[in-house]
Amino acid sequence: MLPADTLVYVTGTHFDQHWQTYLQVALGVGAEQGFLDGFQQAFGFSLRDDLLTHLMGDWAFYVVPSSEGLLADQADINLAVSLLVQSDGAIDFKSIAGHLGDAGLGSGITVVERDREGASYYEVVNQFNDFPIFAFGSEAGYAMFGSDLSAIQTPFTANTNLLASTDYQAAQGALPGGMQATFYLDIQSLFGNIREGLEPVERESFNEITAYFDQVELIASGNRLLNPGVAHNSMVILLSGE
């Protein structure tokens, strides 16, 4: 369901079984409770009870081209990053948006509701210049979070999805039979979108670094369970014909 112009994605399952591990890795073992308490004090809602415990099942982190959103407006990087997670449908995003709006009072931050055909989306913006900072919402049993409102909606609005991409088909086809890509990178398109926003001097340095990858077109990896406790993992790197 990811859009056809997806440049990078990482997918997984059972998000509900892993989010605490992610916090421990990011913050250090034993530090997560202090972080969660501080978060609730600062923003008025429980990150764990009101949000994270309701995120479950399949998830995907993905990057798409975008001329809007935080990265494009603030860093001149024409990309948007998004997280799509299956949810139990019990997240009260309207309440969360209200708490975030209250927490942003006095700092120039406001939260704007952006409904689309019955789905609920919210955008955190700088009220002084209307620059977007963050977007989130829910639709069709999924919760979405990201740097650009339109990008988090693309799984439901795009005319074609990634399965129609010939590049993706080539990468998926290079993996051993029966193995689904859980990681995909269109490295040259990613570099191209970053390069667009760079100043000439920055672009020259960027080109020197990325020149080492000139022959690399696509990277994909996947895995499959062979027996309980035994998995087969593979990575493929597709090179250009030049």
- Are the beta carbons of 174 and 238 closer than 8 angstroms? yes
pLDDT at 105 over 80: no
Determine the average pLDDT of the residues in 138-158: 93
Backbone angles phi, psi at 78, to 5 degrees: -80, 60
Least Cα distance to 12 among 156, 177, 222, 170 occurs for 222
89 secondary structure, DSSP code = S
- Separation between Cα atoms, residue 5 and residue 18, nearest integer Å: 28
Q: What is the pLDDT of residues 33-87, one digit of tens each?
A: 899 999 999 999 999 999 999 999 899 999 999 998 899 888 889 999 999 999 9
Give the closest residue to 145 by CA, choosing from 123, 112, 163: 123
What is the DSSP-derived secondary structure letter of residue 44?
S
Q: Is residue 72 within 8 Å of 51, Cβ to Cβ?
A: no
Interval 115-131 mean pLDDT: 87
pLDDT at 242: 53
Q: Is the pTM of this model over 0.75?
A: yes
**Cβ count within 10 A of residue 237:** 16
Render pLDDT for 198-235 as a digit per residue (tens, 0 to 9). Answer: 999 999 999 999 999 999 999 999 988 777 877 789 99
- What end-to-end distance do the CA atoms of the chain give, in Å? 32
Of residues 113 and 28, more confidently modeled: 113
Tokens of 72: 């494009």
Tell me: pLDDT of 99 over 80. Answer: yes
Q: Where are the domains of the chain?
A: 13-153, 165-239
